[in-house]
Structure 1
Amino acid sequence: MPVFPLHGTTPLTRPAPAPAARTPRQGERFALPALAESVATARSRVDRRLDHWGLPQETRDTARLVISELVTNAILHTDSHMVTCRLEATPRLDRLRIEVADEGCGLDRRAAPRRPSADAENGRGLMLLDALAARWGVLCPDQNAGCTVWAELRP
């Protein structure tokens, strides 16, 4: 497995077993075509939902940035036709989880995030995600079934 040089990353997590009594959560799920225009749509949907939940502007700004990076990566780095986004917040709104699932062919275990050169125009998305999220990771249950990249924010 590749070594991820970023602080706090959890590259290939497995879902935790469900506790006996789960805390009810609020959430939203939506699918978008894997097109560049969908990044703005995802940002707008996240902003409206978090505003509805009463989350502070700073959290909404961070969540918009995170969803932008995740949707952009799913569109650019997979052959997906659709991406599925999911937002989930705890009842006290002390934790927000953002997920983006693609239809790609799974995680290439040989690929690892690398630090871009100082003059590179892109390649900083995962570094940004690592700086903004309390935790993040990748779920890839089957090499041929796509991946879900998730991030947790603590408002």
Structure 2
Amino acid sequence: MFRLPALSASVADARGRIRARLREWGAGAELRDDASLVVTELFTNAVRHTDSEKITCVLHDCGSVVRVEVTDQGRGTGVPAPGVAGADEEGGRGLLLVSVLSLAWGSDPAEDGAGRVVWAELAAHRAPH
């Protein structure tokens, strides 16, 4: 688990930490790439769509599944849902991408009642030995 300031500049740090932890766990390149992209999208959404000061990331090794959780401080509006972006729009595809890369994803209220946990579960491909 790690907690970072809710700043765009923290996204690269979160991505690097996820990649490093997955490498320690022996995860294959595909999982490291997919999880990096998923945490980038979830962390970016927490920065853009909530009024959080800090964002918490947790990575769980559940055997055949790796679960990424991003928790904000709950001052956002609405439940995360994939957007519909036009062909010329730069953003709006993040959660669609998360849904394609993940076995499942969703959101739940944070345990402390303040905030939201947005999570994604990815198939745990292991690097060959």
**TM-score of the superposition, structure 1-length normalised?**
0.74
1:71 to 40, 43, 65: 43
Residues 83, 57 of structure 1: CA spacing in aligned structure 2 closer, same or farther, 3 A cutoff?
same
Deviation digits for residues 108-133 of structure 1 (CA, Å, limit 9, x no counterpart): 25x85331111111000010001000
Contact 2:110 2:117 in 1 (8 A): no
Indicate how the Cα distance of structure 1 residues 86 and 55 shifts in structure 2: closer, same or farther if over 3 A, else same.
same
Q: Give the partner amino acid of 1:100.
A: V
Unaligned runs of 5+ in 1: 1-28
Equivalent residue runs for 1:4-153 within 5 Å: 29-90=1-62, 93-105=63-75, 107-108=77-78, 112-140=81-109, 145-153=114-122
Between the two proteins, what is the percent identity of the paired residues?
A: 48
Aligned residue pairs: how many? 123
RMSD of Structure 2 on Structure 1 (CA): 1.8
Higher helix proportion (structure 1 or 2): 2
* TM-score, normalising length: structure 2: 0.88
1-structure distance, mates of 2:23, 2:110: 33
Whether the aligned pair in 2 keeps the contact of 1:88 and 1:96 (CA below 8 Å) is yes
* Separation of aligned partners in 2, 1:37 and 1:84: 15
- Residue 98 of structure 2 aligns to a residue whose secondary structure is helix
Runs of 4+ in 1 over 6 A off after TM superposition: none
What's the CA shift for 1:141?
5.5
